[in-house]
Chains A and B, each alone.
Chain A
Amino acid sequence: MSFFGFGPSAEIEILLDGSDTRKAAELKLEDGRKERFPLYYDGETVSGKVNVVLKKSNGKLEHQGIKIEFIGQIDLYFDRGNRHEFVSMVRELARPGILTQNASYNFEFVNVEKPYESYTGSNRLSDLVKEQEICVHTLAQYPDLNSSIKMEVGIEDCLHIEFEYNKSKYHLKDVIVGKIYFLLVRIKIKHMEIQVIKREIAGSGPNALNENETLAKFEIMDGAPVRGESIPIRLFLSGYDLTPTMRDINKKFSVKYYLNLVLVDEEERRYFKQQEVTLFRKADKKRRPIASNMIERGIFHHRTAQFGGPQPPPQQPQQQTVESPELETGSTHVSPAMPSKPVAAAGQSEEPDDDEAEADDDEEDEDEEPEAEDEDNDGDRQEDRDSKNGQL
């Protein structure tokens, strides 16, 4: 541009302090590529230096002031024209004037509040720092109240199971430990798997946009159990590409995670139960390099994962879902005796994820409200499914 005598006659460079030692994190870009950006946490000071290098050694640059801004913004895919800024801070670096030589300015945003984590999803949401994008991770403390999820579900006279996940909130490198206990089995189950489903909700109210993605399919049982069997669950989350759960970020979008327990019978009918879990990011700890640590992580004794062990009574309300009348409603609708559509339509386990995710969509839309209101009541919610796939 300088060829024409206007346009930037100087190059501007932002150097963040400690950029060579700072950790970097990967972010997906709009086109799907991944790039690494310096990683900042909430409340951390962002400081650095701005270098203005004049193109011509003895030229001069007249400016109306030099500012640096720290901006957090959300771009929604379906609403590209509008940017929603949730953070905006300005530091004045220089008064209007003329630069005759290269200049360098230090800046510092002290203890800047970065309320949201960087996130790129199907709905393309991102935090940007002008000119220099940074990545923000928000860390969460281990939640004080982290009760297990325990529930008895089933279809009357057909299948009754009790499942338990050891927590309701997991950090991103956590392990889900649990157990499925079969109380009644009158169907021939072929296998059982746990899926991790991510649901993005962009916008709100009636215009909210939902998108589901199955991130993990993890087989936890092969073959048909009989009454009284208990099947262990151990799912390492670090094997998957997960982000923290995000709730109503700046009233723009949410990201939620669900564990979906799916039982497939010999006729490829699928019985499932979805259960939301909260994911959060925990500060990295230096791992002890000795084996015993590994073992601690790798092994979870049944004793430690024992369900209903020293559980306090307040857990009981959840248990009441057992008696929930919806179970019966559910059973009439998912009864294998009345398939109204060809089984193959949605039943194949090999079907692409989207198919199933969409199927879920249909059903979830109707019930969006109650779920948003009260997560603890998830268990009570029983939805009708198309006849092949039964939600437990």
Chain B
Amino acid sequence: LFWQTRSQDMSGPVTEDQEKLLDEALSVVKLQAFQMKRCLDKAKLMDALKHASNMLGELRTSLLSPKSYYELYMLITDEMRHLELYLLDEFQKGRRVQDLYELVQYAGNIIPRLYLLITVGVVYIKCSEISRKDILKDLVEMCRGVQHPLRGLFLRNYLLQCTKNVLPDCVEEEQEDSGSVSDSIDFVLLNFSEMNKLWVRMQHQGHTRERDRREQERRELKLLVGTNLVRLSQLDTIDVQRYRSVVLPAVLEQVVNCRDALSQDYVMECIIQVFPDEYHLATLQDFLQACAELNPAVPVKNILISLINRLSAFATRDGSNGIPSDIPLFDFFSEQIAKIIENKPDLSPEDLVSLQAALTGLALGVYKDREDYVDKVLETTNSGLDKLGVEHINDHSNLSRELMKLLKLPIDLWNDALVLLRLRHYSPLLQRLDSPTKKSVSAYLLQNMLNNGTLVPSSEQVEQLLDLVRCLVADPGADAAAAAADATATNSLGGDPGDGSANGAGPGSEADNEDLAEEQSLLGRVVHLFSTGPDLLDEQFGVLKTARRILATGGGRRVKYTLPPVVFHSRQDSDDKWRKKCRKIFEFCHSTVCGLAKCELPNLALRLFVDGALVVDKIPFDQHDTRMTCFAAENHEPLRSQTVHAASKLLRKPDQSRAVAACAHLFWSGRPRELQGAEMRDLKKVGECLKRAGRLASQCMDAGLQAQLYTELVNYYLYFVLQSAGQSGSSGAACVRSVWSVSGVV
């Protein structure tokens, strides 16, 4: 009971005092116990009882803290077992001690008297069940004499422990004399309500400044009270009927009337935990009714959440019959929660949300196909938050956490984002969150889609989805137009086109960019799920168009990640059946890539073009002329020279040399439009490139590397010589000359 908390609490001198007092008490107990056992060995029962009484007298102390008192109690009750066993043994041998039950009541002090009475009473019951009913009734009544909370709680706990296995557990008809289960119920219920009263009374004793300590002490003692309910739950004869008509009403009456928050909180929770689910189902209305009557300080939502979770688990557990159809579980809870929200104007928004989350869990667990339930809950939540005037939800606030939990629930339980899209109130709720949390929920949703391979088959759905996760698609608060403006703005700012980070707004940091990259890659991956299936190519195209339209609003930083998948995805589907569309598709790709190019992402655009060219190459596609329309003649030229320029700017000389040499091909095999598809074979430029490469190679310090570069260069020359051999002789000769000049250098 106290082991967990032993190390905490109590500080300094108090601890020392307690230890000293406890040690003294324990040593008295040990001595008296020893003498008691010795007297028992000599069969001097009366003397043994006297020592037992002395020992029990230690429990009269008012000086010990609950923890120390508990230790003392444990030792003493342990020793009392010896007495009980001795008496049982004697009684079973037929040496019944006359009037023992009366005899122990001569003790002048009530605490030892009642402990002895309980011990002897239980021995009587164990030996003969005839008077069991009477004895039980007598014991629990006589315990009223101890009104001191701590001592009373432990005394009654002793009563409960001792009678553990002797409570009548049969229906009335079977055993008239020795008592039936209703006697047991009366017994435990009375004990329970008395213990609860004592427990509650603890709160009101002593100084107000010690309130926290008292509450702590009371928490430590709560199990004593709860044991009563455990005992009730162990009585097999208590069926649903009896539970509903006798047990629960009594427990609820006690708990509601005590008006103590701590007690109500604990006992309600206890009821939920110790009794079977079927019982809860049968008594739901009563229980919920009681919940509404609790002290306003009781966190009712915890109780409800606990109950809902339990019932949800029950409904989904294997082997259970599920929730009986005649119990409108959801409606019950939904009404009840509405009532609570109504009755508690001071209910915090996070409590409201966590209540609704539990309700969502129930709807999802028990009524998997009732989307309307979930939507209803979300609606209530939304309007509830409205009523509470919640406008801004800070990150890291409890409310934000709770709302996130709520929003993740349907994602987890349905594993189907499409259903979410059908909920009218999911998105508004999501949009309430502050940006980082919103993003994290959105990302969670996307990840879930990826894990489950949820395909998004229609443009409307794509639109809805992207609208739902719009925090990822575009900058927060920016609509499409603003995003576009933003994109232009970043464009005009310029910066290194190869590095996305330069495009970031002012506060953009490294970490932000990492996050952004992660989110956007996720979004990019999801694009691949925008798929209608193989037979609906038109729709597929439409879907992708929609996706592009929306994704394009994301601004430079995002499209970098999001549009390429669109491109790739669109190509992926270009199989045989789709030939007719190919042109359209390529046009689509082209414009997309152009869009990228506009966003100062030429490298990416280039790669995409190259990739596109590869695809075009592989498929039987007769409209090749379109493929390079992307490169207009006017930008082809600068592009080539720029490439060379870039190549010569590489860091290491060998790299420069190799790159520049490779650029020579640009001027050879390029097919600008003015030549009608013929290779341009600009020998002069090729020569320039190679010469430049040769010059760069000559600057290389490492002789071995230099030699290798020259060898490579010779290879290039040879290639071009061979290529040009069939052409005009003059150029061929020039080439050969060049080759030789290089060789000469080598």
Is there an interface contact between B131 and A295, defined as CB atoms closer than 8 Å?
Answer: yes
- Which of A55-63, A86-94, A109-117, A232-240 forms contacts with chain B? A232-240
- Minimum CB–CB distance from A373 to chain B (whole Å) comes to 35
The residues of A that contact B201 with a CB separation of less than 8 Å are 226
- Which of B100-108, B159-167, B572-580 forms contacts with chain A? B100-108
- Which of B148-156, B207-215, B360-368 forms contacts with chain A? B148-156
Is there an interface contact between A231 and B144, defined as CB atoms closer than 8 Å?
Answer: yes
A219 contacts B by Cβ under 8 Å: yes
In chain B, residues 162-218, which have Cβ atoms closer than 8 Å to a Cβ of chain A? 197, 201, 205
Is there an interface contact between B108 and A231, defined as CB atoms closer than 8 Å?
Answer: no
Q: Mark B135-158, 1 if CB is under 8 A from A, else 0.
A: 101100110111111011000000
A224 contacts B by Cβ under 8 Å: yes
A183 to B182, CA, bound (A): 30
A230 contacts B by Cβ under 8 Å: yes
A218 to B102, CA, bound (A): 14
A308 contacts B by Cβ under 8 Å: no
15 contacts between A and B (CB under 8 A): A191-B110, A216-B108, A222-B152, A223-B148, A223-B152, A232-B142, A234-B142, A236-B102, A239-B106, A291-B130, A291-B131, A295-B101, A295-B131, A298-B99, A299-B138
Is there an interface contact between B98 and A231, defined as CB atoms closer than 8 Å?
Answer: no
In chain A, residues 111-134, which have Cβ atoms closer than 8 Å to a Cβ of chain B? none
- Decide yes or no: A291 and B141 within 8 Å by CB, A222-B147, A223-B151 being known contacts: no
Q: Mark A214-254, 1 if CB is under 8 A from B, else 0.
A: 00111111111110011110101011000000000000000
Known: A294-B101, A294-B102. 4 other contacts (CB 8 A): A219-B110, A225-B147, A232-B141, A299-B137
- Minimum CB–CB distance from B630 to chain A (whole Å) comes to 91
- Minimum CB–CB distance from A229 to chain B (whole Å) comes to 6
Is there an interface contact between B134 and A221, defined as CB atoms closer than 8 Å?
Answer: no
A221 to B148, CA, bound (A): 9
Which residue of chain B has the shortest Cβ distance to A293 in the bound complex? Answer: B99
- Decide yes or no: A232 and B144 within 8 Å by CB, A219-B108, A292-B131, A297-B99 being known contacts: yes
Inter-chain contact total with CB atoms closer than 8 Å: 90
A302 contacts B by Cβ under 8 Å: yes
Which residue of chain A has the shortest Cβ distance to B59 in the bound complex? Answer: A222
- Minimum CB–CB distance from B666 to chain A (whole Å) comes to 99
Is there an interface contact between A298 and B105, defined as CB atoms closer than 8 Å?
Answer: yes
- Minimum CB–CB distance from A49 to chain B (whole Å) comes to 38
Which residue of chain A has the shortest Cβ distance to B117 in the bound complex? Answer: A298
The residues of A that contact B581 with a CB separation of less than 8 Å are none
- Minimum CB–CB distance from B202 to chain A (whole Å) comes to 11
Main secondary structure of the interface of A (DSSP, over half): mixed
- Decide yes or no: A232 and B145 within 8 Å by CB, A226-B201, A295-B101, A298-B102 being known contacts: yes
- Decide yes or no: A291 and B145 within 8 Å by CB, A219-B110, A239-B106, A298-B101 being known contacts: no
A95 contacts B by Cβ under 8 Å: no
Is there an interface contact between B145 and A224, defined as CB atoms closer than 8 Å?
Answer: no
Q: Mark B78-109, 1 if CB is under 8 A from A, else 0.
A: 00000000000000000010111110011011
B124 contacts A by Cβ under 8 Å: yes
Is there an interface contact between A223 and B147, defined as CB atoms closer than 8 Å?
Answer: yes
B128 contacts A by Cβ under 8 Å: yes
The residues of B that contact A221 with a CB separation of less than 8 Å are 110, 145-147
The residues of B that contact A238 with a CB separation of less than 8 Å are 102
Residue of A223, A225, A230 with highest tally of chain B CB at under 10 A: A223
Is there an interface contact between B60 and A222, defined as CB atoms closer than 8 Å?
Answer: yes
A286 contacts B by Cβ under 8 Å: no
Is there an interface contact between A292 and B105, defined as CB atoms closer than 8 Å?
Answer: no
Which residue of chain A has the shortest Cβ distance to B124 in the bound complex? Answer: A291
Is there an interface contact between B134 and A222, defined as CB atoms closer than 8 Å?
Answer: no
B111 contacts A by Cβ under 8 Å: yes
A80 contacts B by Cβ under 8 Å: no
- Minimum CB–CB distance from A158 to chain B (whole Å) comes to 18
Cβ-defined partner of B147 (8 Å) among A229, A239, A291, A295: A229
A285 contacts B by Cβ under 8 Å: no
Cβ-defined partner of A230 (8 Å) among B109, B130, B144: B144
The residues of B that contact A216 with a CB separation of less than 8 Å are 108
The residues of B that contact A302 with a CB separation of less than 8 Å are 141
In chain A, residues 13-32, which have Cβ atoms closer than 8 Å to a Cβ of chain B? none
Interface size on B, residues (CB 8 A): 35
The residues of B that contact A239 with a CB separation of less than 8 Å are 106
The residues of A that contact B197 with a CB separation of less than 8 Å are 226
Is there an interface contact between B111 and A301, defined as CB atoms closer than 8 Å?
Answer: no
Residue of B60, B110, B152 with highest tally of chain A CB at under 10 A: B110
Which residue of chain B has the shortest Cβ distance to A188 in the bound complex? Answer: B205
Is there an interface contact between A222 and B110, defined as CB atoms closer than 8 Å?
Answer: yes
The residues of B that contact A222 with a CB separation of less than 8 Å are 60, 110-111, 145-148, 151-152
The residues of A that contact B98 with a CB separation of less than 8 Å are 289, 294
Q: Mark B30-59, 1 if CB is under 8 A from A, else 0.
A: 000000000000000000000000000000
Which residue of chain B has the shortest Cβ distance to A185 in the bound complex? Answer: B147
- Decide yes or no: A301 and B144 within 8 Å by CB, A236-B102, A292-B130, A294-B102 being known contacts: no
Which residue of chain A has the shortest Cβ distance to B155 in the bound complex? Answer: A222
- Minimum CB–CB distance from A298 to chain B (whole Å) comes to 4
The residues of B that contact A229 with a CB separation of less than 8 Å are 144, 147
Is there an interface contact between B147 and A234, defined as CB atoms closer than 8 Å?
Answer: no
Which residue of chain B has the shortest Cβ distance to A224 in the bound complex? Answer: B147
Residue of B109, B146, B147, B148 with highest tally of chain A CB at under 10 A: B147
A175 to B171, CA, bound (A): 34
A301 to B140, CA, bound (A): 11
Cβ-defined partner of B128 (8 Å) among A220, A291, A297: A291
In chain A, residues 263-298, which have Cβ atoms closer than 8 Å to a Cβ of chain B? 289, 291-292, 294-295, 297-298
The residues of A that contact B130 with a CB separation of less than 8 Å are 291-292
In chain B, residues 523-544, which have Cβ atoms closer than 8 Å to a Cβ of chain A? none
Which residue of chain A has the shortest Cβ distance to B138 in the bound complex? Answer: A299
Sorted nearest first, the 5 A-B pairs with minimum C-beta distance are A223-B148, A223-B147, A239-B106, A298-B101, A299-B138
A236 to B100, CA, bound (A): 13
- Minimum CB–CB distance from A195 to chain B (whole Å) comes to 10
- Minimum CB–CB distance from A219 to chain B (whole Å) comes to 4
The residues of B that contact A300 with a CB separation of less than 8 Å are 138
Which residue of chain A has the shortest Cβ distance to B99 in the bound complex? Answer: A294
The residues of A that contact B108 with a CB separation of less than 8 Å are 216-219
- Minimum CB–CB distance from A380 to chain B (whole Å) comes to 29
A392 to B104, CA, bound (A): 30
Which residue of chain B has the shortest Cβ distance to A230 in the bound complex? Answer: B144
Cβ-defined partner of A295 (8 Å) among B105, B111, B135: B135
Which residue of chain A has the shortest Cβ distance to B148 in the bound complex? Answer: A223
The residues of B that contact A292 with a CB separation of less than 8 Å are 130-131
Cβ-defined partner of B135 (8 Å) among A217, A223, A234, A299: A299
Which residue of chain A has the shortest Cβ distance to B120 in the bound complex? Answer: A298
Q: Mark B114-138, 1 if CB is under 8 A from A, else 0.
A: 0000000000100010110011011
A230 to B190, CA, bound (A): 13
Residue of A191, A229, A295, A297 with highest tally of chain B CB at under 10 A: A295
Cβ-defined partner of B145 (8 Å) among A220, A226, A236, A299: A220
Which residue of chain B has the shortest Cβ distance to A218 in the bound complex? Answer: B108
Q: Mark B589-610, 1 if CB is under 8 A from A, else 0.
A: 0000000000000000000000
A229 to B194, CA, bound (A): 10
A291 to B121, CA, bound (A): 12
Residue of A217, A225, A294 with highest tally of chain B CB at under 10 A: A294
Which residue of chain A has the shortest Cβ distance to B100 in the bound complex? Answer: A294
A268 to B360, CA, bound (A): 60
A224 to B146, CA, bound (A): 9
The residues of B that contact A191 with a CB separation of less than 8 Å are 110
- Decide yes or no: A236 and B105 within 8 Å by CB, A224-B147, A292-B131, A299-B135 being known contacts: yes
